[in-house]
Amino acid sequence: MKTREDIESYLLKMGVGHDDLGGDIWRLNVNGVENLMVSLAGPIVVFRLKMMEIPGANREALYETLLRLNTTELFHCAFGIEGNAIVLGSALELENMDLNEFQAVVDDMGMAVSKLYPVLSKFRAVA
64-114 pLDDT, tens digit each: 999 999 999 999 999 999 999 999 999 999 999 999 999 999 999 999 999
Q: Is the pLDDT of residue 127 over 50?
A: no
Query: Any idea of the CA torsion for 35, 53, 39, 79, to the nearest 10 degrees?
Result: -110
In this prediction, residue 46 carries a pLDDT of 98
The SS3 of residue 83 is coil
Q: Model confidence over 6-23: pLDDT tens digits? A: 999 999 999 999 999 998
Q: Are 123 and 37 in contact (CB under 8 A)?
A: no
**How would residue 125 be classed by pLDDT, with cut points 50, 70 and 90?**
low
In this prediction, residue 97 carries a pLDDT of 95
- DSSP β-ladder status, 25-30 and 78-82: unpaired
Domains of the chain: 4-125 (3.30.1460.10)
Q: On the CB side of 119, how many CA atoms lie within 13 Å of its CA? A: 15
Give kind and range of the element (H or E) at residue 10: helix 4-14
Rg of the chain, C-alpha, whole Å: 15
Q: What is the pTM of this model?
A: 0.92
